[in-house]
Structure 1
Amino acid sequence: MNEGNRYVLSEEDVNAKFYPCEAGDSEKLFVLIHGFMSWSFSFQSLIPSLVNHAHVLTLDLPGFGRSKKDVKYEFSYEQFTKTVQDMIDRREEHFTDIVPVGHSMGGQIALRLARSNRCVHRVVLLASSGDMQKSSKRLRWASRLPFFDVWLARYVRDRDVSHVLKQVIHDNKKVTTEQIDAYSLPLQENLMYRALSKFIRQREGI
């Protein structure tokens, strides 16, 4: 199913969590795929509803959240898709109905998973990004410069996480301290910005 995966990661490298269906045996699996600069925490309020109907698998894409930020990894949508499929294949349960749920950038991966996995019959897209232009040549060139990741870290950390959350969450009263702390945590890891530098060069685009 997952042939040609040159970057096979161990279970310790990928922060993946499996939530069994509370309604009993099920062959349906929701795969929750987060967006750019986010991580699986973003689905915490959704999981309790989904497990009433099916199994749920969440994961942090490599380079994001609590997954490993290995700069040897290829940070492309295609490789992300292979990693997601690998996490599915490692489960002992038998799934005949896999439903990828992609938010923002995760929608790109959900659509690719639908093309490569025969058990995917439908896809759920949440404010999904469409086809994007490839990063500009100037930015790709700049990402190779020494200390680019240091500049990138400073640029991102200067942004107010609470302000960003209030821009994307309709009801600002629902922005909590727990959310602010959770989204801020991965941004403190320096290796994340080395991974982002590679992502700028390697992600696909039209």
Structure 2
Amino acid sequence: MEKAHFYCSKMNILGVNVHYEVYERDRLNPVIVLIHGFLSSSFSFRKIIPLLEKDFTIIAIDLPPFGKTEKSTKFVHSYTNMARVVIELIQALQISKAFLVGHSMGGQVSLNAAKQRPDLFEKVVLLCSAGYTKGVSPTLKFGSYVPYFYLCIKHWLASQGILKNLNNVVHDQSLIDQEMMDGYMEPFLDNRIFMALNRMIRDHEGDLPAEELKLIEQPSLLIWGNEDKVVPITIGERLRKDLPNSSFVSFKHTGHLVPEEKPEHVSEKIGNFIFQAQ
């Protein structure tokens, strides 16, 4: 079967050069927007993109300051602003209707975008979405103003190590290979990301509270890993109660990186959810 046409590009949005990828086979196909999680990139969707590109046009975005997007210290790295980046990119590509798929932090960005533009985004899929965390502690926020604090962030991430981080987010650790480690490590070879993360600490406003979640009326599908150690399944069950038009599914023996661990199952659930009549 013929593969989808692929191209990647950068667009200046809110003063930042944002990297995005487009996979398109048929212009009439529904549009899915993939939004990755914290310390990640569109690389995290590499296994579900080939499974979805037959039926959908796919747009994968690297949020500031991750992936191949510019690592800016001037951009305000709030969820509200990241959602604006998504919205402005989709509008610039002259797309009038789209579906959001957000993993982890990308789930909160997706919810923010859905809240800001219910006319633009028809449905939302949340993959182990972040939820209910407050803003950064005053002490950490104060630290972000200290000169060279970004070096502390770099040291902390280095002390964790890529293998330790992946072991924490993947239940089946046999899936971790060199390609996976290299893909998740690559953005951190650019020292500017630590300066941008320093700014992100300052700008982080916390997750949407329950009273705002209850106002999001678009249908939403929540997909979880039963063994998620980063965002426990209890968060998913709580989101299920607060999002008024939501459904919930979970996979056994699966951790936080559900697109990596269960690509076929996740892709099938996404496709069925988007094509089902409302």
TM-score, with normalisation over the residues of structure 2?
0.66
- SS of 2:102's partner is strand
CA deviations 1:155-178 (Å, max 9, x no partner) are 111222122212212221211101
- SS of 2:186's partner is helix
The aligned residue for residue 3 of structure 1 is none
Flag structure 2 segments of 5+ consecutive residues without an equivalent: 1-12, 210-278
Q: Hey, what's the Cα distance between the residues in 2 that align with 1:18 and 1:168? A: 27
Q: State the aligned residue count.
A: 194
- Could you say which structure has the greater relative contact order, defined with CA pairs below 8 angstroms and 6 or more residues apart? 1
- SS of 1:106's partner is helix
CA deviations 1:100-151 (Å, max 9, x no partner) are 1110000011111112221322100000010211111111001110110011
Q: Hey, what's the Cα distance between the residues in 2 that align with 1:113 and 1:125? A: 13
Q: Hey, what's the Cα distance between the residues in 1 that align with 2:158 and 2:204? A: 22
The aligned residue for residue 8 of structure 1 is 14
Taking the TM superposition and a 5 Å limit, the aligned residue runs for 1:21-170 are: 22=25, 24-92=26-94, 94-96=95-97, 98-117=98-117, 118-170=119-171
Query: What is the identity, as a one-letter code, of the residue corresponding to 1:75?
Result: H
Structure 1 or 2: more strand by fraction: 2
Q: Hey, what's the Cα distance between the residues in 2 that align with 1:109 and 1:15? A: 16
Query: What is the identity, as a one-letter code, of the residue corresponding to 1:48?
Result: P
Structure 1 residue 27: deviation in Å? 4.9
How large is the Cα RMSD of the aligned pairs? Answer: 1.5
Q: Show structure 1 runs of 4+ deviating over 3 A.
A: none
The aligned residue for residue 217 of structure 2 is none
CA deviations 1:14-46 (Å, max 9, x no partner) are 1101110x3x33251111000011111000111
CA contact (8 A) 1:33 1:102 kept: yes
Q: Hey, what's the Cα distance between the residues in 2 that align with 1:58 and 1:109? A: 13
Query: What is the identity, as a one-letter code, of the residue corresponding to 1:8?
Result: L
Q: Hey, what's the Cα distance between the residues in 1 that align with 2:63 and 2:27? A: 27
CA contact (8 A) 1:165 1:175 kept: yes
- SS of 1:107's partner is helix
Flag structure 1 segments of 5+ consecutive residues without an equivalent: 1-6
CA contact (8 A) 1:149 1:193 kept: yes
Structure 1 residue 181: deviation in Å? 0.8
1:19 matched to 2:20? The reply is no
Structure 1 residue 189: deviation in Å? 1.7
CA contact (8 A) 1:28 1:95 kept: no
Q: Hey, what's the Cα distance between the residues in 2 that align with 1:25 and 1:201? A: 40
Query: What is the identity, as a one-letter code, of the residue corresponding to 1:178?
Result: E
Percent same amino acid at aligned positions? 32
Q: Hey, what's the Cα distance between the residues in 1 that align with 2:52 and 2:73? A: 34
Q: Hey, what's the Cα distance between the residues in 1 that align with 2:169 and 2:72? A: 29
CA contact (8 A) 2:15 2:75 kept: no
- SS of 1:61's partner is coil
Q: Do the aligned partners of residues 185 and 25 (structure 1) sit closer, same or farther apart at CA in structure 2, a change above 3 Å counting?
A: closer
